[in-house]
């Protein structure tokens, strides 16, 4: 087994996704501890141009697999390319981002390669010669420390917004290793028939630094407009707890919580959300939490860094105006 730490790069619209930068940053730190290199694995069609950015963000080596059948993620194609490569090169650890594709692929690889696999990792460390991760469990009521066996491949699927992306170093150019791809279309048993963007103007929730989120206290779908305004002023993404989704006020992709997304933003503003455990499970990892609720007994206040007991219909417009003033002053 080598001492290298690998990162599976994900990309969209010609650039690596932010989570890839986060993982590369962590991989650098781990590789230093191990005395190895950082390699990034990128698959796509015409993906060579990504190597520069991957190098700048920490990759010493970029394994590049370019092929028309890799233009979009499919389980069979990506597994067929990655599995033999990993089996041959034997990296110490493979980091995969917890994205739709990452979660789809990682268990497949782990089963094929009989690798150790841990998902939803919120920390990846080396402890007495073992790779140890921590991950939340039981609706975030417990944190598990999980260790990998030392013999055999190790795969960790890492949550977004856990590690900070490193600053880009343009001087760092990676060694690019082309990976020959012999793929037969008949071996790929799924086909992407279409991708329809969900018409949301903001960053996906799982990648957002700031999230403004609404619950039952908003009383109706039309009041999400108040959150949209605050979010625009902040450059934030908009989410919700479960009740607005169940009531049909917002689509399911807004949902944060046990049956929705887990988010780790720097700032989470919870408006009219009571703070049931199922919701906290999705956002209690946020660095700072602001809660606005008219009920002083709402459980959300027990996790909030700053709480306002008040009428959100009064508070939100005032807050939006104040943020706009601040941003104007900062820009001027």
Give residues 61-90 in contact with other proteins (rule: CB under 8 A). 75-76
**Cα 187 to Cα 173: distance, rounded to the nearest angstrom:** 35
Scanning residues 260 to 299, which ones bind other proteins (CB under 8 A)? 266-267, 277-278, 284, 287-290, 296-297
Scanning residues 18 to 47, which ones bind other proteins (CB under 8 A)? none
Question: Closest distance between other proteins and the C-beta of residue 122, in Å?
Answer: 10
Question: Closest distance between other proteins and the C-beta of residue 213, in Å?
Answer: 15
- Examine residue 331 and tell whether it contacts other proteins (CB under 8 A): no
| CA-CA-CA-CA torsion sign (76, 154, 94, 263) | positive
- Examine residue 253 and tell whether it contacts other proteins (CB under 8 A): yes
Report which secondary-structure segment, H or E, holds 249: none
**Cα 296 to Cα 110: distance, rounded to the nearest angstrom:** 47
**Cα 306 to Cα 303: distance, rounded to the nearest angstrom:** 9
| Phi, psi for 266 (deg, rounded to 5) | -70, -35
Among residues 88, 114, 185, 331, which is the contact residue for other proteins, using CB under 8 A? 114
* Token pair of 174 as six digits: 């990676």
**Cα 84 to Cα 139: distance, rounded to the nearest angstrom:** 36
* Token pair of 132 as six digits: 């140890």
The conformational region for residue 169 under phi > 0 = left, psi -120 to 50 = alpha, else beta, is beta
- Examine residue 304 and tell whether it contacts other proteins (CB under 8 A): yes
Contact region for other proteins (CB under 8 A) — 27-35, 85-93, 100-108, 217-225?
100-108
Interstrand relation of 93-97 and 61-66 (parallel, antiparallel or unpaired): unpaired
Question: Closest distance between other proteins and the C-beta of residue 192, in Å?
Answer: 6
- Examine residue 101 and tell whether it contacts other proteins (CB under 8 A): yes
Question: Closest distance between other proteins and the C-beta of residue 181, in Å?
Answer: 19
Distance of CA 163 to the CA centre of its chain: 10
Scanning residues 205 to 244, which ones bind other proteins (CB under 8 A)? 206-207, 209-210, 234
Nearest to 5 by CA among 35, 43, 50: 35
Question: Closest distance between other proteins and the C-beta of residue 241, in Å?
Answer: 14
Report which secondary-structure segment, H or E, holds 83: helix 75-89
Which residue number, 61 or 94, has a Cβ lying nearer to other proteins? Answer: 94
Q: Which residues have CB under 8 Å from 83's CB, separation 6+?
A: 109, 112, 113
- Examine residue 152 and tell whether it contacts other proteins (CB under 8 A): yes
Which residue number, 41 or 77, has a Cβ lying nearer to other proteins? Answer: 77
Scanning residues 309 to 328, which ones bind other proteins (CB under 8 A)? 309-311, 314-315, 318-319, 322-323, 326
Among residues 193, 248, 328, 331, which is the contact residue for other proteins, using CB under 8 A? 193
């Amino acid at each position: 087994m080598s001492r290298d730490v690998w990162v599976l790069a994900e990309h969209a619209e010609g650039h690596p996704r932010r989570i890839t930068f986060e993982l590369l940053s962590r991989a650098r730190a781990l590789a230093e501890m191990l005395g190895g290199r950082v390699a990034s694995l990128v698959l796509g069609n015409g993906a060579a141009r990504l190597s520069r950015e991957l190098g700048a963000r920490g990759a010493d080596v970029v394994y590049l697999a370019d092929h028309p059948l890799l233009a979009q993620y499919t389980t069979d194609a990506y597994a067929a390319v990655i599995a033999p490569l990993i089996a041959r090169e034997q990296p110490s650890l493979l980091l995969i981002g917890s994205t739709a594709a990452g979660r789809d692929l990682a268990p497949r690889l782990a089963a094929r390669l009989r690798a150790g696999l841990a998902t939803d990792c919120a920390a990846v460390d080396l402890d007495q010669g073992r790779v140890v991760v921590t991950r939340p469990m039981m609706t975030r009521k417990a944190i598990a420390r999980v260790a990998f066996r030392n013999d055999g491949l190790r795969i960790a699927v890492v949550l977004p917004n856990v590690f900070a992306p490193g600053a880009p170093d343009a001087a760092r150019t990676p060694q690019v290793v082309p990976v020959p791809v012999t793929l037969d279309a008949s071996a790929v048993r799924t086909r992407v028939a279409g991708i329809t963007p969900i018409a949301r103007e903001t960053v996906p929730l799982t990648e957002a630094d700031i999230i403004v989120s609404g619950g039952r206290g908003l009383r109706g779908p039309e009041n999400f407009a108040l959150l949209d305004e605050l979010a625009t002023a902040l450059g934030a993404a908009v989410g919700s707890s479960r009740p607005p989704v169940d009531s049909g006020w917002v689509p399911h992709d807004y949902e944060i919580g046990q049956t929705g997304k887990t988010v780790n933003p720097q700032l989470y503003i919870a408006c009219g959300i009571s703070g049931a455990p199922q919701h906290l499970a999705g956002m209690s990892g946020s660095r700072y939490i602001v809660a606005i609720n008219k009920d002083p007994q709402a459980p959300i206040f027990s996790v909030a860094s700053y709480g306002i007991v008040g009428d959100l219909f009064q508070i939100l417009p005032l807050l939006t105006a104040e943020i706009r003033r601040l941003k104007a002053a900062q820009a001027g």
